[in-house]
Structure 1
Amino acid sequence: MLEAPQAMLEERRRLGLDHRDEMWDGVLHVVPPAGGPHQRLSTRLTMTLGPLAERHGLVPHMETGLFRAATDYRVPDQSYCRPEHLSERGTEGAELVVEVRSAGDETYDKIDFYAAAGVRELLVVHPGDRRAEVFRSVGGRLLPVQATGGVLGLETLEVELRTGAGVLHLTWDDGSAEI
């Protein structure tokens, strides 16, 4: 682990380069900016899931801090929270968190944090093949959900997900989308 000079950290803050940085139990994790494929996929997911979340009374967020403490927070690609979870610093809980994978990222290392923060479901999407994984809270832990007939369900938004031919298919009661 490297120690960063305080002056460098202050300069990052001043220039606005720290908006994706995370604190893991007081340890700074500098997260690089997402690449084009990651951002395009994340944007399309937000455009699809955002309105569905609002129907369920949830507030969509992109790259907003999810806090357990001032020195313990993560910045998921997307989070969908109840209005009572909103705070000045970001969110203090979430029903659904979405992570779009990037090479070498720490997505899977965040699972225990998300479980401890009370996240009900975690959706992990892989940009290359559009493969999706769902983790659901069971007894305070986020556990992988097994697909049934190739279909995964997001209970929080009442959405079914399946991947075919490099496309993520989402279906809900009165609509569908392909991403």
Structure 2
Amino acid sequence: MSATVERSAPRTVVVHGGALDDWLAERRRLGQDGRDEVWAGVYHVVPHAHSSHGRLAHRLSIALAGCAAERGLFPMGEFTFGTGDRDYRVPDMGWTSTPLEEATLYVPSVEVVVEFESPGDETWAKVPFYFERGAGEAWVITPQTSSVQVLTGPDSAVERSGLLGVSTDEVAAVLGWR
């Protein structure tokens, strides 16, 4: 069974001026760059998510811990998805079949990647990157509309995760939306 894939348009902000390097250095110094991403060499400043995203991610991770463990999947909170410092994204959470070393900075691939969509963010622009890097599923969870989409390709949505064995309705219920 397939579902509709909803998308929001990515928002791009262009900064001009000689102070850009200083501004980025100050973001780094203050620890404000933890969610920033690099897309094929282009730096993307990503604002911190709404506090509800962390709460929802925590709830989802706890609720799916048993079925993930049964399938040999290890949970991850925010992580750097990519293979190097010139092209990576920072999804909200995911599950991998490979136990990672504590010092792993770049995670080359995962089975399931999860994005909690915010109004005007670049969630949908990141989805193809995840599949190009071998993700089996990308989940887009939109708190503003209480919707859950499980994608098996950039334009292919299903009603049930084949990797974690839960339906979109079950995930919505775990998040308190049903």
- Normalising to structure 2: TM-score of the pair? 0.79
**Larger RCO (CA under 8 A, 6+ residues apart):** 2
Which piece of structure 1 moves more, 110-119 or 126-135? 126-135
Matches within 5 A, 1:95-114: 95-114=111-130
Corresponding residue number in structure 2 for 1:44: 59
User: Shift of residue 107 of structure 1?
Assistant: 0.7
Question: Equivalent of 1:157, from 150, 154, 164?
Answer: 164
1:118-166 deviation digits (Å, cap 9, x = unpaired):
01101111113321111104xxxx33224xxxxx111111112217xxx
1:54 maps to a residue whose letter is A
User: Shift of residue 84 of structure 1?
Assistant: 5.9
User: Shift of residue 88 of structure 1?
Assistant: 1.9
More strand by share: 1
User: Shift of residue 18 of structure 1?
Assistant: 1.0
Corresponding residue number in structure 2 for 1:73: 88
User: Shift of residue 24 of structure 1?
Assistant: 0.4
1:159 maps to a residue whose letter is V
1:37-83 deviation digits (Å, cap 9, x = unpaired):
33322221222234432332222111111014321000001121122
The CA RMSD over aligned residues, in Å, is: 2.2
Q: Is the 8 A contact 1:85 1:94 kept in 2?
A: no
User: Shift of residue 36 of structure 1?
Assistant: 2.8
| Whole-angstrom CA distance in 1 between matches of 2:98 and 2:132 | 19
Contiguous gaps of at least 5 residues in structure 1:
147-151, 170-176
More helix by share: 2
Structure 1: 4+ residue segments shifted above 4 A: 84-87
Are 1:143 and 2:174 counterparts? no
Partner SS, residue 17 of structure 1: coil
Matches within 5 A, 1:109-148: 109-137=125-153, 142-146=154-158
Partner SS, residue 60 of structure 2: helix
Question: Equivalent of 1:168, from 164, 168, 172?
Answer: 172
Contiguous gaps of at least 5 residues in structure 2:
1-13
Q: Is the 8 A contact 1:97 1:121 kept in 2?
A: yes
| Whole-angstrom CA distance in 2 between matches of 1:72 and 1:97 | 17
User: Shift of residue 28 of structure 1?
Assistant: 0.8
User: Shift of residue 15 of structure 1?
Assistant: 2.0
